[in-house]
Structure 1
Amino acid sequence: MSDLKSSTDVLVIGGGMAGLAGALALRENGADVTLVERAPEFGEVGAGLQMAPNASRVLKRWGLLEKALEIGVRPKHLVFRDAVTGEELTRQALGGEFEERYGAPYVVIHRSDLHRVLLEGCEAAGVKLVNDVMVESVETVNGRGVAHTAAGVDYEADVVIGADGLKSTLRPLVADDEPVSSAYVAYRGTVPITENTPKADLEDVIVYLGPDCHLVQYPLRKGELLNTVAVFKSPSFERGEEQYGGVDELDAAYQDCIPAVQDALKNLGTAMRWPMYDRDPIENWVAGRMVLMGDAAHPMLQYLAQGACQALEDAAVLQDVSNGTVFTADGVNPAAWDQAIKEFNTIRAGRTSRVQRTARVWGESWHVSGLARTLRNLLFKSRTDNNFQYNDWLYGQDQPGSPSRPEAALAKTLSA
């Protein structure tokens, strides 16, 4: 851009899932939205992700669910097994009563495919998308957010949405903290499903739980690909090494697992591994006219498969609290942004804090050994299919961001 200053109603910093979802949500409310991304091209790195009903409901409200279903898979079951014995511990049917209860399907989709669905949604809605923009700082000047970039171009907006991920440049405006190492790393891989692929479980999400490790498999892209993720406690990561030169740690972590699990390791790409971090929850995400969302606000471990889901929830709530107050019949009301982002923060911080903390505990329960493993297995086996007591708090239609939950009214109740 040649302009020394660019003005917009909303500036979104970060072109990942959270940034695209937030930009689309506010554009649907009528805002003039500019999204800046530091990478030269938009894209998403990784393999598959799971979209629970609390996320697919948000896509449904934006008219994007069918596009996701065209390229994704609706698994029939979520199944947990012991990785050492192969014993089934519990399963949840994901159609029928489950889908009816939560108002939307459970979908597994390649990260790049969901990213493309959101990107195309933003393009169709008229979001201004700008690449190669490195935002170095944001300040509030005369009631507007001003983002300063490495290229010397300033962006001004009534509100700035910081969606720049785990290692956010903007989070230091609200918190003096660092990412927290989990000591666990992940290897991922997607391989074509062929006639030689074992046919068992190709319609389900399967999770094998082992001491200090687990493995997840499910189909992608209408059953054309098999997605595999192996997560284990890494001695080298505990020493501070994010990457590691060999696969001996991977092989050692699964040496006591059943052959089906060990065979699945052949599906992994081993050139790169993903060290797993989160951060401690924080209550405040707001600095002047800047507010965080997504992993910048609440990065979480992946055990509940809620990282992208909570980003979509963020966007839905932001849309709700600003609609009708910020965006009026006379146009944008900049003065209403202070209350809107405060309400957004109030609604979302408590919920995402619970998800972050529960993900940590859930992961610990997956990786236990000895007597704890025996007790864990007994607890899992005591659960019957379509026992929803462990799901309702996370997937329920009365949760923030659901179409049946008017957020502005809720926020006024919470802040009263």
Structure 2
Amino acid sequence: MAQPTKVLVIGGGIGGFGNALALRRLGAEVELVEQAPEFGEVGAGLQMSPNATRLLREWGVLDKAIETGVAPRYIVFRDALTGEELLREDVTGEYYERYGAPYIVAHRSDLHRLLMEECQKLGVILHNDVRVAKTENVEADGRTTARATAADGRVFEADAIVAADGIKSVIRAQLSDDEPVGSEYVAYRGALPISQIKHAGDMEAVVVWMGPECHLVQYPLRQGDLFNTVAVYRSKSFAAGQLVYEGDAELREAYKDCVPEVQAALDNLSHVQRWPMFDRVPIENWVDGNVALAGDAAHPMLQYLAQGACQALEDAAALEAISAKSVFADRDNHDASQWNAVFREYNAVRQPRTARIQTTARVWGESWHLTGPVERTVRNMLWKSADRHGIWEYTDWLYGEQQYTAPVESSEDATLSSTTR
């Protein structure tokens, strides 16, 4: 009998497990390697918009994600200096009907665990303590396979490799000499029991307070048992190259002109660690033969559109859809010779969208953090003038149904194309 195609996934984060789950669902033999000694996700809250929750539903984990998270009613934006409410978007009702899926918030570790458990249930083979040092394509007997070599000398062979090894991706370095770009902003996070919260805000909403060179986000988690707070501000010490936390005086100073509710919410944060915010400039090519980048290895982005994890899951959906029509067209006889074609189509479909999101996230952050009074006034007027129909203009491209495969070229298109080459 023909052997199933084998895929190696590098990286045990949300993107890695999402890709492992999607490909295992098709029947691939999937191994996943992670450099950490144990699987787990750091951080706190995670926003999942409809473009991602549609995928969670398809993969059978959305109900569990909602059970361990919260489906808020509103997304609210406020001016952190005046307290004025600028926009309150209802993400139920018409919003849900338009996008066909909910907007949810979850603890990052909860979603990570759900994906991992689903992978284990389906038989994905997991390995810890594996730090992949390089990947390469191997030509033998007229076919191409892929190989990953770990720092300790272990070798993993597969028909294809999906590298979801994060913003500091070792595999990306084989394709591009670019480096992570520091934004000069840092984040402090806290997810505390609701009984310990100094200022809980709106328990039905994700609330964003926009201030000069700072913002603060609040929302409940785990059905209201926890409350998540994230404070992001421009850090002079980070800009000067100081990446290690040395007290919260700079944090307090950044919010000194904000309304009392925002200043009180800083007590909800964990002050023992801060996260410097990095992204990278989009690159055009994510593929080397039968090796492809995914998630933050391919398109690391700033957090302002809350799309990092969502886009990693979209990568998985695209690989699932594209490979289903070629590698897995015959479920009993996988065509492993198609992996390079799959990865090239995946790259062509996904790169333009994620590049747009990466660059838009930067612009979005700049608009949140305006410092001049005139600029802030104009921004606030624009936010307040957006009615519910005007909102779709800004959200449809991001949250609407996505095409995960390349358009099929019609015979007429093919004839025209051939005559113009």
Q: Which of the five TM-score ranges fits, normalised by the shorter chain?
A: over 0.9
**How far apart are 1:68 and its partner, in Å?**
0.4
Which among 49, 52, 74 is matched to residue 49 of structure 2? 52
Once the two structures are TM-superposed, the CA of residue 150 in structure 1 deviates from its matched residue by 1.7
* Contact 2:327/2:338, CA 8 A, preserved across alignment: yes
Q: Which residue of 2 aligns with 1:391?
A: 395
Residue 294 (structure 1) shift: 0.1
The CA deviation string for residues 170-222 of structure 1, in whole angstroms up to 9 with x for no partner, is 00121110000000000000111139765641110000000000000000000
CA–CA distance in structure 2, aligned partners of residues 119 and 243 of structure 1: 31
> How far 1:334 moved relative to its partner?
1.2
Matches within 5 A, 1:357-368: 357-368=359-370
**Is the alpha carbon distance of 1:196 and 1:281 closer, same or farther for their aligned partners in structure 2, counting shifts above 3 Å?**
closer
2:34 alignment partner, one of 33, 37, 40: 37
1:159 aligned partner: 160
| Structure 2 match to 1:82 | 79
- Counterpart CA distance in 2 for 1:26 and 1:389 is 33
Question: Structure 1: where are the runs of 5+ without partners?
Answer: 1-6, 402-406
Please give the alpha-carbon distance, in whole angstroms, between the structure 2 residues aligned to 1:82 and 1:411: 47
Task: Work out whether residues 200 and 227 of structure 2, in 8 Å CA contact, stay in contact via their aligned partners in 1.
Answer: no
Q: What fraction of aligned residue pairs are identical, expressed as a percent?
A: 57
Distance 1:261 1:311 in 2: 31
Task: For residue 125 of structure 1, report the CA deviation from its aligned partner.
Answer: 1.1
| Counterpart AA for 2:224 | G
Query: Runs in 1 of length 4+ with deviation above 4 angstroms?
Result: 195-200, 411-416
Contact 2:245 2:272 in 1 (8 A): no
Residue identity opposite 1:96 in structure 2: G
5+ residue gaps, structure 2, are none
* Residue pair 1:159, 1:337 contacting (<8 A) in 2 also: yes
Structure 1: distance between partners of 2:206 and 2:313: 21
Structure 1 residue 66: deviation in Å? 0.6
Q: Relative to 1, partners in 2 of residues 1:195 and 1:400: Cα closer, same or farther, differing over 3 Å? A: same
Contact 2:200 2:265 in 1 (8 A): no
Pairwise CA distance, 1:331: 2.0
Contact 1:343–1:412 under 8 Å retained in 2:
no
Aligned to 1:91: 88
Per-residue CA deviations over 1:281-320 (Å, capped at 9, x if unaligned) read 0110001211000000000000000000000100001000
1:334 — aligned with what? 336
Which residue number in structure 2 is paired with residue 3 of structure 1? Answer: none
1:187 is matched with 188
Q: Can you list the C-alpha shifts for 1:376-416, whole angstroms capped at 9, x where unaligned?
A: 1111111123531110000012x234xxxxx2x52768998
C-alpha contact (below 8 Å) 1:82/1:209 kept by paired residues: yes
Deviations 1:212-243 (A, max 9, x none): 00000000000111100000000001011112
Relative to the length of structure 1, the TM-score reads 0.94
Residue of structure 2 in register with 1:4 after alignment? none
Deviates more, 1:106-115 or 1:199-208: 199-208
What's the CA shift for 1:152? 1.5
Tell me the equivalent position of 2:318.
317
Amino acid at match of 1:37: E
Matches within 5 A, 1:52-131: 52-131=49-128
Provide, for residues 316-342 of structure 1, a one-character-per-residue CA deviation record: whole Å limited to 9, x for no partner: 010000003101234221111111111
Structure 2 partner of 1:349: 351
What RMSD in Å do the two structures reach over aligned CA positions?
A: 1.7
Name whichever of 192-201 and 9-18 sits farther off: 192-201
**Residue aligned with 2:270, SS:** coil
Task: For 2:132, give the aligned amino acid.
Answer: V
Whole-angstrom CA distance in 2 between matches of 1:134 and 1:306 = 26
Among residues 365, 370, 376, which one is paired with 1:373 in the alignment? Answer: 376
Following TM superposition, by how much is the alpha carbon of 1:369 offset from its aligned partner in structure 2, in angstroms?
1.6
TM-score by length of 2: 0.93
What corresponds to 2:227 in structure 1?
A: 226
Q: Is the Cα–Cα contact under 8 Å of residues 182 and 277 in structure 1 kept in the other structure?
A: yes
Q: State the distance in 1 between where 2:13 and 2:134 align.
A: 19
Q: Indicate which of 115, 129, 136 corresponds to 1:132.
A: 129
Give aligned pairs, total. 403
SS of the residue aligned with 2:394? coil
Q: 1:354 to 1:241 in 2, by over 3 A?
A: same
Deviations 1:47-81 (A, max 9, x none): 00100000000001111101101101000100000
Query: Residues 145 and 290 of structure 1 are in contact (CA less than 8 Å); yes or no, is this contact kept in structure 2?
Result: yes
Q: Contact (CA 8 Å) 1:313, 1:400: kept in 2 or not? A: no
- Does the 8 Å CA contact 1:343/1:411 hold for their aligned counterparts? no
Cα offset for 1:127?
Answer: 0.6
Which one-letter code corresponds to 1:21 in the other structure?
A: G
2:213–2:233 Cα contact (<8 Å) kept: yes
Q: 1:73–1:223: 8 Å Cα contact kept in structure 2?
A: yes
Amino acid at match of 2:115: L
Q: CA deviation at 1:8?
A: 6.7
| 1:383 alignment partner AA | A
Aligned partners of 1:222 and 1:314: how far apart in 2?
Answer: 29
Which residue identity does 1:36 align to in structure 2? V
- The amino acid that maps onto 1:376 is R
For residue 313 of structure 1, what is the amino acid of its counterpart? E
What aligned pairs does 1:123-272 form with structure 2 within 5 A after superposition? 123-142=120-139, 143-194=144-195, 200-272=201-273
SS in 2 for 1:55: helix
Residue identity in the other structure for 1:34 = E
**Does the 8 Å CA contact 1:79/1:91 hold for their aligned counterparts?**
yes
- Separation of aligned partners in 2, 1:240 and 1:200: 34
